[in-house]
Structure 1
């Protein structure tokens, strides 16, 4: 009987421990994966690698590059429309020019007194008035022809000016794209240099990536909704996050998540994160686990192939899904630069992105 108290206390402690464990672990592992390896880090920790400054720079650079590319496409379309319009105007101008030329020839042949002679040759007042009205109509038609010619010439001039303006706009946007590309690559170079200075204590090298571009994908995603001018509408964290991470995500993030699942990438995903920096707290990013059971160690074999193919899927559909960047296996894919080494990670599978594919959308 003396052992009843300790037994009860032990049972109570075990029960309390189970409650705490369940409270912390609910939603951390998908259904059917209870026996899988536990997550390397809880989803609510900031383990995206790099620094908040680096992620902000990459975010701004990619957004700026995508905005400039949209403006360039819009300007190019406008240029094509203006070129077609100018061709039509020049054709009309040729017709009007010929018509006015004919009028000038007739006026030259009849002379200045042609109108007076036509009126004086009238035999009666009624015939005189008829001829006067007819001549007035001819004069009005000639006047309209001349004014039409002048207006068409002015329209052609305005169209040419607008066309030149679109060419200037295109050159401007190309320069913006180049600067944004340089901004992103410079940020990564600085981060890589800082990582080399700080990472002498670990053996993992950022150059050990090279996996991101090795995947294949032929699936096409349905395009996310755009504005009428081709730009991406502003979105807030306004829809429920359907992943175990809970919280909110943007409609565009939800679209990308749904499209990836429709393409067959159905393993564990975590999107919203309340803490830390980057796009997760904004609902604009998701982490797609390479392993079936969640975020484990470094992905190898079929798990690594899964990650390669998923990264390739997002890149193939980057324009349809408004992809800002993709991070996978110590590399980052930017719409402006392609695959680059992603340094500054923490040397663990989560921050090195060797156990999940990170997706950030506009």
Structure 2
């Protein structure tokens, strides 16, 4: 048996350790894709996807509007059917009462016979009418028969229109959800198409930017403001730069307030939801867009912690940010 050289003996444990280390670190099986992550889509690919999504969205929206128009017609037909049923029901009740009265009078006067069982809806409580009615009584019975038949038709039509309306509403809701899903994808592609604003350092921090333009805000803040305005709409206005030195980012051009009401009033429930949606979107895109913190409804979210924290009471609706989300960028 060959004897290993001293150097080989010293290197042997090292080779064993390396072999064990590789065995532990390497996966037992190799993925079918070769272990490589799918490459990020290029701007060209995203624009192609966006174009296809927008075409699909236009088609779905057109179908949705058409269905809404049809639903409005069905709603009118259903309303008219309910009104006809109401009138028919009143006529039916009136004629039934008259017929009961006739039956009672015949019974009291000693008449015999039975009113046709054909009028099953009218409960005559066992009272009978003579087989041969007087001419006016026959006319009354014929009138009741007509009213009864109209009532039946109106009741059937009202049910059919109500069923049709229910089906239309369900179908419209499905179309709406399909359109909203495509619109959501469009928004995602639009977000991904915008390049990261400004320059990030290797440690992930952001290089400061100078305000520019007539709005006196930084390019980074301007992009965030424009994206939110286009995506959510801010009907009560957006306030960004102000010269008052209050220790915040507004005089530095690095903050904007997205108003949800006017004059310090508490916003409506719908506007509160809009504020929540703006805040959630800003958190989702904070790392990409350089968002430093968000203040909304007396809470602050900071990119450093990634969590909401309750703030002290500053004494008012606007001061406590109940009527607007505040967003600051690096």
* TM-score, normalising length: structure 1: 0.35
Q: Which structure carries more relative contact order (alpha carbon 8 Å, separation 6+)?
A: 1
Larger Rg: 2
TM-score scaled by length of structure 2: 0.39
